[in-house]
Amino acid sequence: MGQSDSSVDSISTGGLYTAEQRVRRDRSPWTLVQGILAPLQFLVFLVSLVLVCRFLLTGNGEVIAELSVVVKTLVLYAIMITGSIWEKVVFDRWLFAPAFFWEDVFSMLVLALHTAYLVALASGMLGAIALMALAMAAYLTYVINAVQFVLKLRAARLDEKARRQPAGAT
């Protein structure tokens, strides 16, 4: 059976991972990297969100707000690159493994908006308010994507708990 076939089987039977994928996930150092980068990215996001909102509300702190979005974007790139490596190790696909297909699709929008911010900042093609509005749009998509991943991780934990529970136990 091919790798993609087993990925489809795990999803069709309700599990997120096949037994083989679970072993690769648990042994991969990229799992730990993702576990560190995800909360770090969220912390960077929160700080940046405060700085961007402060600028939008008061007009103060434009440069630090812009810089915070750049830092957030760089952390996003780091988590996307390492996440792609993780997906290759676990699912034998760089991106769009069936188990994370929709999360990856939406991640592309998140990346596109963050990258558009960097292009707009570097080129000066948007004014400060429009630039921050673009950052806020990027942040909105990031939050939606983060919720997707949290829900997926929760489903994986519930699946793991159900898998470990003896048949007929409540």
Return the amino acid letter for 104.
D
Whole-number Å distance between alpha carbons of 87 and 41: 19
pTM attached to this predicted model: 0.82
Whole-number Å distance between alpha carbons of 149 and 135: 21
pLDDT beyond 90 at 54: yes
Band of residue 154 on the pLDDT scale cut at 50, 70, 90: confident
Decide if 134 contacts 113 (C-beta within 8 A): yes
Decide if 66 contacts 124 (C-beta within 8 A): no
Decide if 91 contacts 97 (C-beta within 8 A): yes
The string of pLDDT tens digits covering residues 71-125 is 999 999 999 999 999 999 999 999 999 989 999 999 999 999 999 999 999 999 9
- Considering 10-19, 66-75, 91-100, 157-166, the range whose residues carry the highest mean pLDDT is 66-75
DSSP annotation of 16 reads S
pLDDT at 126: 97
pLDDT beyond 50 at 4: no
Q: DSSP secondary structure string, 55-99?
A: HHHHS--HHHHHHHHHHHHHHHHHHHHHHHHHHHHHHS-SS--GG
The string of pLDDT tens digits covering residues 17-44 is 888 999 999 999 999 999 999 999 999 9
Whole-number Å distance between alpha carbons of 168 and 110: 43
Q: Which residues of 58-73 are buried (b: 16+ CB within 10 A; e: fewer)?
A: eeebbeebbebbbebb
pLDDT at 66: 98
Across the chain, mean pLDDT equals 89
- 5 SS3 class: helix
